[in-house]
Amino acid sequence: MHGKSPLVSLMLSVRALQKSYRSGPDRVSVLRGVDLDVAPGESVALTGESGSGKSTLLHLIAGLDAADAGEVRFGDTLISQLSDAGRAAFRRDHLGLVFQQFNLIPSLSVADNLAFQSRIAGRHDAAWQAELIERLGLGSLLKRYPEQLSGGQQQRVAIGRALAVKPLLLLADEPTGNLDEATADEVMSLSRDLVSRTGCGFLMVTHSARLAAMLDRRVHLHAGLIA
Amino acid sequence: MKRALWILAVLLSHWRRHPMQLATLLVGLISATALWSGVQALNQQARISYDRAASALGGARTATLVGSNGESLPQQIFVELRRAGWPVSPMLEGRIQIGGRSLRLLGVEPLSLPIEASAAPAIGTSGLQGFLSPPGQTLIAPDTLAELKAAAGDTPLTNTGLTLPPLTPQNESVPGLLVVDIGVAQRLLNMPEKISQLLLGQRDLGPRAPLASIAGGETLRLVEPDAETDLERLTDSFHLNLTAFGLLSFLVGLFIVNSAIGLAFEQRRPMLRTLRACGVSALQLNSVLIVELVGLALLAGLIGLVCGYFIAATLLPDVAASLRGLYGAQIPGELTLRPQWWAAGLAISVIGALGAASASLLKAIRLPVLAAAQPYAWQQAQQTALIVQGALALIVFAGGVGCLLLGDSLVAGFAVLAAILLGAALALPAVLGLVLLLSERVARKPLAKWFWADSRMQLSGLSLALMALLLALGVNVGVGTMVQSFSKTFTGWLDGRLAAEVYLNAASDAQAVEIKAWLRDRPEVQAVLPGSRAEAQLGGWPIDLIGFADHATYREQWPLLESSPGAWDLVARGEAALISEQLALRLKLKLGDRVAVPTPQGSWPLEVVAIYADYGNPRGQLGVAIAALVAHFPGIAQTRFGLRVTPAAVPALVTALREKFALDNRSLADQAALKAESRKIFNRTFAVTNALNAFTLGIAGVALLTSLLTLSQSRLPQLAPLWAIGITRRKLAVIELMKTLSVALITALLALPLGLVVAWCLIAVVNVKAFGWRLPFQVFPEQLVQLVGIAMLASLLAALLPILNLLRMQPAQLVKVFADER
Chain A residues with CB inside 8 Å of B17's CB? 106-107, 145
DSSP B649: G
Query: Is residue B515 within a helix (H) or strand (E), and if so which, with residue range?
Result: helix B509-520
B665 pLDDT tier (thresholds 50, 70, 90):
low
Q: Give residue B578's pLDDT.
A: 93
- Residue B40's closest CA among B267, B302, B240, B211? B240
B177 pLDDT tier (thresholds 50, 70, 90):
confident
Q: Give residue B475's pLDDT.
A: 83
Higher pLDDT, B727 or A40: A40
Q: Is B821 on the interface with A (CB under 8 A)?
A: yes
Residue B215 φ/ψ, nearest 5 degrees: -60, 125
Tell me the per-residue pLDDT of B56-69, one tens digit each, with 9 for 90 and over.
555 556 777 777 66
Higher pLDDT, B455 or B237: B455
CA distances from B253 to A125, B20, B278, B305, B382 (A): 46, 16, 36, 14, 22
Q: Give residue B729's pLDDT.
A: 79
Chain A residues with CB inside 8 Å of B276's CB? 88
Question: In this structure, how many other beta carbons lie within 10 angstroms of the beta carbon of residue B405?
Answer: 9
In terms of phi and psi (left: phi > 0; alpha: psi -120 to 50; beta: otherwise), the region of B653 is: alpha
A2 pLDDT tier (thresholds 50, 70, 90):
very low
Using the predicted structure, report yes or no on whether residue B377 has a pLDDT greater than 60.
Answer: no
Percent share of chain B, pLDDT over 90: 9
Which spans in B611-649 are helix H? 626-632
- Cross-chain Cβ contact B370/A64 below 8 Å: yes
Using the predicted structure, report yes or no on whether residue A4 has a pLDDT greater than 50.
Answer: no
Assess contact for B257 and B248: CB atoms under 8 A: no
Higher pLDDT, B263 or A223: A223
Tell me the per-residue pLDDT of B485-527, one tens digit each, with 9 for 90 and over.
877 887 777 777 778 888 888 877 788 888 888 988 888 888 8
ipTM for the whole complex? 0.71
Output the CA torsion sign for B31, B37, B39, B41.
Answer: negative
Q: How many CB pairs under 8 A join A and B?
A: 82
Q: How many residues does chain A have?
A: 227
- Cross-chain Cβ contact B277/A147 below 8 Å: no
Using the predicted structure, report yes or no on whether residue A107 has a pLDDT greater than 60.
Answer: yes
Assess contact for B322 and B41: CB atoms under 8 A: no
Q: Give residue B714's pLDDT.
A: 65
Q: Is B1 on the interface with A (CB under 8 A)?
A: no
Query: Is residue B625 within a helix (H) or strand (E), and if so which, with residue range?
Result: strand B620-625
Chain A residues with CB inside 8 Å of B22's CB? none
B395 pLDDT tier (thresholds 50, 70, 90):
very high
Q: Is B61 on the interface with A (CB under 8 A)?
A: no
Residues of A in CB contact (< 8 Å) with B are 59, 62, 64-65, 84-85, 88-93, 95, 97, 99, 101, 103-108, 112, 116-117, 119-122, 145, 147, 150-151, 161, 178
Assess contact for A136 and A160: CB atoms under 8 A: yes
For B590, residues 6+ apart whose C-beta sits below 8 A from its C-beta are: B584, B608, B611
b/e per residue, B115-124, with b = 16+ CB within 10 A?
A: eebbbbebbe
Q: Mean pLDDT throughout A170-198?
A: 82
Tell me the per-residue pLDDT of A35-87, one tens digit each, with 9 for 90 and over.
999 988 899 999 998 888 888 899 889 888 888 999 999 888 898 888 878 88
- Cross-chain Cβ contact A108/B3 below 8 Å: no
- For strand B167-169 and strand B541-548, is the pairing parallel, antiparallel, or unpaired? unpaired
Assess contact for A109 and A133: CB atoms under 8 A: no
Please report, as a single letter, which amino acid is at residue B801. L
Q: Give residue B424's pLDDT.
A: 92
- Residue B383's closest CA among B421, B423, B437, B420? B437
Please report, as a single letter, which amino acid is at residue B444. R
For B633, residues 6+ apart whose C-beta sits below 8 A from its C-beta are: B534, B545, B599, B600, B601
CA distances from B720 to B274, B430, B449, B810, B813 (A): 28, 28, 17, 12, 9
Higher pLDDT, B23 or B127: B23
Query: Is residue A201 within a helix (H) or strand (E), and if so which, with residue range?
Result: strand A201-205
Distance CA B590, CA B256 (A): 49
Distance CA B327, CA B618 (A): 7
CATH 3.40.50.2300 corresponds to the domain A12-226 = no
B813 pLDDT tier (thresholds 50, 70, 90):
low
Substitution target in A55, A90, A102, A107 with the highest count of B β-carbons within 10 Å is A107
Distance CA B2, CA A224 (A): 42
Please return the burial class of A9, using the count of CB atoms within 10 Å of its CB with bins 0-12, 13-18 and 19+: exposed
Using the predicted structure, report yes or no on whether residue B209 has a pLDDT greater than 50.
Answer: yes
What's the maximum distance between 2 C-alpha atoms anywhere in chain B? 104
Picking from B13, B279, B284, the nearest residue to A107 by CB comes out as B13
Q: Mean pLDDT throughout B365-371?
A: 70
Chain A residues with CB inside 8 Å of B278's CB? 91-92, 97, 116-117, 120, 161
Q: Mean pLDDT throughout A179-184?
A: 78
A11 pLDDT tier (thresholds 50, 70, 90):
confident
Which spans in B167-281 are helix H? 182-188, 230-277
First to last CA, chain A: 37
Q: Is B8 on the interface with A (CB under 8 A)?
A: no
- Cross-chain Cβ contact B278/A117 below 8 Å: yes
DSSP readout, B60-92? SSS-EEEETTS--EETHHHHHHHHTT--EEEEE
Whole-angstrom Cα Rg for chain B: 33
Q: Which residues pair with B542 in a beta bridge?
A: B537
Using the predicted structure, report yes or no on whether residue A5 has a pLDDT greater than 70.
Answer: no
Using the predicted structure, report yes or no on whether residue A135 has a pLDDT greater than 70.
Answer: yes
Distance CA B157, CA B145 (A): 14
Domain residue spans of chain A = 12-226
- Cross-chain Cβ contact A90/B279 below 8 Å: yes
Q: Give residue A15's pLDDT.
A: 93
- Cross-chain Cβ contact A120/B3 below 8 Å: yes
Tell me the per-residue pLDDT of B477-494, one tens digit each, with 9 for 90 and over.
888 888 788 778 877 777
Chain A residues with CB inside 8 Å of B374's CB? none
Chain B residues with CB inside 8 Å of A93's CB? 279
B55 pLDDT tier (thresholds 50, 70, 90):
low
- Residue B502's closest CA among B529, B468, B465, B534? B529
Using the predicted structure, report yes or no on whether residue B677 has a pLDDT greater than 80.
Answer: no
Sheet holding A217-222, edge to edge: A95-98, A169-173, A201-205, A43-47, A217-222, A225-226
Q: Mean pLDDT throughout B36-59?
A: 73
Distance CA B39, CA B341 (A): 11
Assess contact for B640 and B505: CB atoms under 8 A: yes
Question: In this structure, how many other beta carbons lie within 10 angstroms of the beta carbon of residue B334?
Answer: 8
Query: Is residue B794 within a helix (H) or strand (E), and if so which, with residue range?
Result: helix B781-808
- Cross-chain Cβ contact A122/B279 below 8 Å: no
DSSP readout, B162-176? PBPPPEEE-TTSPTT
Q: Give residue B605's pLDDT.
A: 92
> Across chain B, how many H-helices and E-strands are there?
25, 20
Assess contact for B341 and B41: CB atoms under 8 A: yes
Tell me the per-residue pLDDT of B298-342, one tens digit each, with 9 for 90 and over.
999 999 999 988 888 888 887 777 776 666 666 666 677 778 888
- Cross-chain Cβ contact B280/A64 below 8 Å: no
- Residue B454's closest CA among B228, B742, B171? B742
